[in-house]
Amino acid sequence: MKVTRATFDEVMVPNYNPAGMVPVRGEGSRVWDQDGAEYIDFAGGIAVNVLGHCHPELVGVLQDQGSKLWHLSNVFTNEPAMRLAAKLTDATFADKVYFANSGAEANEAALKLARRFALDKHGEDKNQIIAFNKGFHGRTFFTVTVGGQAAYSDGFGPKPGAVDHCDYNDLAAFEALISDKTCAVMMEPLQGEGGIIPPDADFVRGVRELCDKHNALLIFDEVQSGVGRTGHLYAYMGLGVTPDILTTAKSLGGGFPIGAMLTTTEIAAHLKPGTHGSTYGGNPLACAVAEKALDIVNTPEVMEGVLKKEALFRELLEEINNKYHVFSEVRGKGMLLGCALSDDYQGRARDFLMASAEENLMCLIAGANVVRFAPSLIIPDEDIKEGLARFERAVARVVNAK
């Protein structure tokens, strides 16, 4: 059956508006479309393809596991899931792991666990969840309500209650909002969809201290910032603050769908049999691929390489900006970077995205005012240089069309 971009409009629900080109093959940081045109990938499937496309070791593990065991219900356990959980707990603060299929599902589990923990330990009045404006935690109704962007949660009827928001990096506003009725605080240690906004060190420490003061659990949503993206296996490791619950997905499977919630033994005990579950959570195929991805990423060579590649990105972006003056700053960490647009280009991030596509570069936006890059952690330096050469041509397109 011959399919084209027009087929999408005929058969797919119109909640997406994909690009005109249709990718059919990827290798490393390069992608080819139906017409054979080649693109450099700075998007990484929105911070997912942590080792690029079709990494040979991931392909090998997938093929090997695919000939053994594809799926079991959680009436049984399986070896890849247990091995992956053991490696995640060995590498982090956590003692216990719950597997899901996505970041939204991992966050849903984290929020349900926090509510159940508070109910069991403190009673039904301790149910408030605090999150931050511009935050993003997924598209389930619970997670999209906790996310701090009303545009995503409005229009679907009554929202889950006892969810409040304040501004990120505003410790005074947070302190005024938290109380002994707060059961959990959910935050990204580097806001992604909200504009690649890093946290102030004092803010993160203050949030942790206030959570401790009010017996509230601190949940770090590391769906986008985790698995090496900031040059640490998880971003919390570079902040000097440890959460009570951490969620991870996106890069965890290197492109294969998987999510996980990590926590301590004490907190995990409150998800007793029957309280929560997932048909596909802990799938052997997903866990086998994720185990290999974690093995590759969690090495000094890859982590150090991420920071070196960040420096190269920043150097070349500065050269571009010195010519065209389109960015107010480049923010973020590691291979999660955001180019914030200057005053003259406010609201035009999508113009840069579209111009990049015309120059055969795949990139992202984070809101209307930030161009976002989230490439493979092992993208070759020559692909960074060529990709940013294409990006410079895209910037020139936008500037000259103004």
pLDDT, tens only, 80-118: 999 999 999 999 999 999 999 999 999 999 999 999 999
8 Å CB contact between 25 and 346: no
Q: Do 376 and 392 reside in the same domain of the chain?
A: yes
Convert the pLDDT of each residue in 240-269 to its tens digit.
Answer: 999 999 999 999 999 999 999 999 999 999
CATH number at residue 111: 3.40.640.10
Q: How far is CA 137 from CA 45, 116, 279, 292, 373, in A?
A: 17, 19, 21, 26, 19
Q: Which of 136, 203, 256, 313 is catalytic?
A: 136
Do residues 338 and 215 share a domain?
no
**What Å distances lie between residue 348 and 17, 352, 355, 366, 378, CA to CA?**
18, 7, 11, 11, 30
Strands (E), 14-92: 23-27, 30-33, 38-41
Catalytic entry in 250, 292, 309, 333:
250
Q: Are residues 116 and 136 in the same domain?
A: yes
359 annotated ligand binder: no
Q: How far apart are alpha carbons 186 and 13 in whole angstroms?
A: 31
Our answer to whether residue 221 is catalytic in this structure is yes
238 belongs to an annotated ligand binding site: no
Mark whether 150 and 276 lie in a shared domain. yes
Residue 139 φ/ψ, nearest 5 degrees: -115, 5
Choose the catalytic residue: 41, 221, 244, 383: 221
Is 34 part of any known ligand binding site? no
pLDDT for the residue 401: 85
350 annotated binding-site participant: no
Note whether 94 and 167 are same-domain residues: yes
Closest listed residue to residue 47, CA positions, set 283, 177, 263, 228 = 228
278 annotated ligand-binding residue: yes
78 and 150 in a single domain? The answer is yes
User: How far apart are the C-alpha atoms of 184 and 190, rounded to whole Å?
Assistant: 18
End-of-domain residue from the set 297, 324, 359: 297
62 and 50 within one domain = no
Residue 23 CA, distance from chain mean position: 22
136 is catalytic: yes
Q: What confidence score (pLDDT) does residue 402 get?
A: 67
CA angle (35, 370, 205) in 5-degree steps: 130
Number of structural domains (the chain) is: 2
Crossing angle for the helix pair 284-297 and 300-324, nearest 10 degrees? 80
Domain check: are 239 and 328 in the same one?
no
Do 79 and 221 share a domain, yes or no?
A: yes
Q: Which of 262, 281, 297 is the last residue of a domain?
A: 297
Is the same domain home to 251 and 374?
Answer: no
Q: Which domain holds residue 186?
A: 57-297
- In whole angstroms, give the CA distance from residue 219 to residue 186: 5
268, 297, 326: which is the final residue of a domain? 297
Asked if residue 309 and residue 269 are part of one domain, the reply reads: no
279 is in an annotated binding site: yes
Crossing angle of helices 381-401 and 300-324, rounded to 10°: 30
pTM equals 0.96
The CATH number linked to 355 is: 3.90.1150.10
Q: Say whether 222 counts as a known binding-site residue.
A: yes
Q: Which residues of the chain have pLDDT under 50?
A: none
Contacts of 288 by beta carbon, 8 Å cutoff, 6+ apart: 61, 62, 64, 65, 80
104 is in an annotated binding site: yes
